[in-house]
């Protein structure tokens, strides 16, 4: 079920940061923390889950960090949100097996319908779209050409 959490916002901001500040070198988590103010305790957990889901790739070593696993235009907000929803699924009361008949038969199915519609909308928004919005809003990039280095 959809729940807008801090982790969800942090995940979207982190992926957008990696895309918007793309360079030949991987983006280190401390750079994302510096630019976005995301606490590292949240960030590392989120980044690792995004790597496992194929949204990002991790590069090991002293100059390691993170890169997009796919082109900006091929990563949607729904891809990112799904990762966080899976992380947080154990805390979702709408997935509980117990409850009243009204809750189980009426409210929960309605909530799932709403969440499905929301995910359909998120599927239409790509990281490229957000990079374009950032450029139009005049957000400065640390990589002057903002080239998408993913293959």
> How high is the pLDDT of residue 94?
56
Question: Would you give per-residue pLDDT tens digits along the chain (151 residues)?
Answer: 555 788 999 999 999 999 999 888 999 999 999 999 999 888 999 999 999 999 999 999 988 999 999 999 999 999 999 999 888 876 556 566 777 899 989 999 998 899 899 999 999 999 999 999 999 999 998 875 545 444 4
Rg, C-alpha atoms of the chain: 17
Return the pLDDT at 91: 59
pLDDT of 57 reads 97
Q: Which residue has 């909530």 as its token pair?
A: 111
Give pLDDT, residue 2: 56
Architecture per CATH, domain 6-136, reads as Orthogonal Bundle (1.10)
Taking the model in full, what pTM does it have?
Answer: 0.84
Residue 142: what pLDDT? Answer: 81
Helix (H, G, I), strand (E, B) or coil at 62: coil
Using CA atoms, how far residue 107 sits from 16, 77, 93, 95, 96, in Å, is 34, 26, 12, 12, 13
- Give the model's pLDDT for residue 149: 47
């Amino acid at each position: 079920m959809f729940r807008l959490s801090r982790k969800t916002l942090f995940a979207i901001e982190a992926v957008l940061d990696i895309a918007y500040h793309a360079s030949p070198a991987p983006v280190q988590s401390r750079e994302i923390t510096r630019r976005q103010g995301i606490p590292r305790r949240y960030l590392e957990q989120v980044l690792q889950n995004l790597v496992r889901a194929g949204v990002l790739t991790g590069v090991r070593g002293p100059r390691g960090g993170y890169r997009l696993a796919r082109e900006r235009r091929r990563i949607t907000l729904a891809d990112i949100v799904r990762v966080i929803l899976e992380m947080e699924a154990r805390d979702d009361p709408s997935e509980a097996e117990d409850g009243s008949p009204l809750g189980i038969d009426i409210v929960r199915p309605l909530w799932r319908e709403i969440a499905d519609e929301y995910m359909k909308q998120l599927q239409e928004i790509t990281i490229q779209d957000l990079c374009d919005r950032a450029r139009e809003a005049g957000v400065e990039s640390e990589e002057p050409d903002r080239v998408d280095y993913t293959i």
